Amino acid sequence: MKRIVLIAAALGTLVAASAAVAHLRAADVTAAAATLTATTPTNVETRTFSCDGQTFEVTTGKWTGTATSTTADLNGPAALYLKSVYNTTKKLGWIEGRLKIAASDNRTHLSITGVNSDGTIDGWVRGSAGRGDGSVFGSLAGTFSKTGGLTAGAIGSGTATNAAVIAKHIRCSSSQTPRPSVFLLVRGQVETVSASSITVKPKDGSASQTCAVKDDDDVERVKSGDQVEMTCVQSAGAWTLVKVRKR
């Protein structure tokens, strides 16, 4: 599994610009570094579209790994949630999403946006480093594939060529099967819940129902014993959580 070098640094020239730090109460900066693996896929889905003689792939999913750093806020299990829109005809597109690092206080969240030029990423990250420990700003470089996730990446450094795109609406038709139309609604008590699945026992006493979890944020406020209403959708013969709310 390839490693990613992650350098979270606020550059002096950026911090010196008053417009860039007008919202901050202090302008202290500290360079930080971490290595990161984010290549293990979970619930990765790709839809293909034909648009005016061009082909697009829209991929959504989660890739997990581990961030290792001497900086506590950048050290721990890592989860990368991305949406990729990629024109396979022009070999050009973009990514957007977020990176979570379950550090000591489980509060390092970074937003990610970037241009994808034939698999090479040129982008930007911004977010919070822990609970009240500061903000992270940096450039993003690396490579991305729907099967391999983000590899050979670097935040604050890297060799990616600067790139920009203009995206506009064109008429598209999906070459995939229609979106799922079979749903499951369960009202009852949570039996078990984790970052990968949730099981609810219906109030009427019927069999417990289990749904896969695509994003652990969807269940972070739910615990065993809670009374909930859970909605799931059938995809590839399995139930996947759409939403869950307490009752």
Residues 165, 45 share a domain? yes
pTM of this prediction?
0.66
Residues 106, 158 share a domain? yes
Query: What percent of the chain clears pLDDT 90, i.e. is strictly above it?
Result: 32
Residues 193, 163 share a domain? no
Q: Residue 200 belongs to a domain with what CATH number?
A: 2.40.50.320
d(CA 211, CA 193): 10
Residues 230, 161 share a domain? no
> Which residues have CB under 8 Å from 109's CB, separation 6+?
98, 99, 100, 127, 128
141 vs 96, residue with greater confidence: 96
Q: Are 193 and 219 in contact (CB under 8 A)?
A: yes
Whether residue 153 has pLDDT greater than 60: yes
Residues 236, 194 share a domain? yes
Please state which of the ranges 125-129, 209-213, 238-242 shows the lowest mean pLDDT.
125-129
Strand-pair category, 238-246 with 92-101: unpaired
Residues 121, 16 share a domain? yes
- The owner of tokens 């859970």 is 230
Residues 226, 162 share a domain? no
> If you average pLDDT over residues 53-72, what whole number do you get?
86
Residues 132, 169 share a domain? yes
Whether residue 87 has pLDDT greater than 70: yes
- Reading the block at residue 187, the tokens are 């009202």
Residues 89, 23 share a domain? yes
8 vs 209, residue with greater confidence: 209
What's residue 72's pLDDT? 81
Per residue in 199-223, pLDDT tens? 999 999 999 999 999 888 889 889 9
Per residue in 18-35, pLDDT tens? 444 445 555 677 777 777
Q: What is the mean pLDDT of the chain?
A: 80
**Which domain does 190 fall in, by range?**
183-246
Contacts 24+ apart (CB under 8 A), 61-65: 61/146, 62/214, 62/215, 63/38, 63/39, 63/149, 63/150, 64/38, 64/40, 65/1, 65/36, 65/37, 65/38, 65/39, 65/40, 65/149
Q: CA-CA distances (angstroms) from residue 217 to 132, 214, 240?
A: 20, 9, 14
> If you average pLDDT over residues 82-111, what whole number do you get?
89
What's residue 5's pLDDT? 35
Residues 193, 106 share a domain? no
Domain count for the chain: 2
Residues 206, 85 share a domain? no
Domain termination residue (choose one: 143, 174, 205): 174
Please state which of the ranges 99-113, 153-167, 212-226 shows the lowest mean pLDDT.
153-167
- Reading the block at residue 23, the tokens are 């919202």
What's residue 29's pLDDT? 79
**38: DSSP letter:** B
64 vs 181, residue with greater confidence: 64
Residues 92, 48 share a domain? yes
Whether residue 6 has pLDDT greater than 90: no
Whether residue 158 has pLDDT greater than 80: no
Please state which of the ranges 125-129, 139-143, 188-192 shows the lowest mean pLDDT.
139-143
